[in-house]
Amino acid sequence: MATRLSDLRRLQADLFLNRASELLTERGHCKGLMTAPSGALSCTAALYVACGARPEKIRWNADNAEEAGVPEKNRAVADELLMLLEGLALTDCLEEWNDREATDQQECRRLLSRAADAIRISLD
């Protein structure tokens, strides 16, 4: 990972992860799409929305925070958090992980929580 966890802690990036988890609870979890017509979000889309993207503007094939419409000031953090989540999920594509049969809303929320905890307990 390009950024140290302690750098993400200083940026309070764990708050974005907490918000993404809340969004999954509020809006629901979807598979196969970044955002569903019902308003449900994939794990990746929840992260992008937590970082400031507008759900209706997220393209179905957004590969990074910029393509998802995350405001410029939060793009680097969003991309770093995506890499952290992929590392913890042992995947190179969070959307593919999200779409697995075994992945549900609870599993996504667990992953987001693990990442937030890793940031909070990181040392300089």
83-99 pLDDT, tens digit per residue, is 999 999 999 999 999 99
Return the pLDDT at 2. Answer: 47
Domain boundaries of the chain, sorted by first residue: 5-120
**Single-letter code of the amino acid located at 92:** D
pLDDT in tens, 13-59: 999 999 999 999 999 999 999 999 999 999 999 999 999 999 999 98
**Rounded (to 5) percent helix, strand, coil in the chain:** 60, 0, 40
In the beta sheet, which residues pair with residue 29?
41
* Cβ–Cβ < 8 Å for 68, 62: yes
- Of the candidates 37, 4, 23, 49, the one whose C-alpha atom is nearest the C-alpha of residue 105 is 23
Please tell me the pTM assigned to this model. Answer: 0.93
SS3 state of residue 62: coil
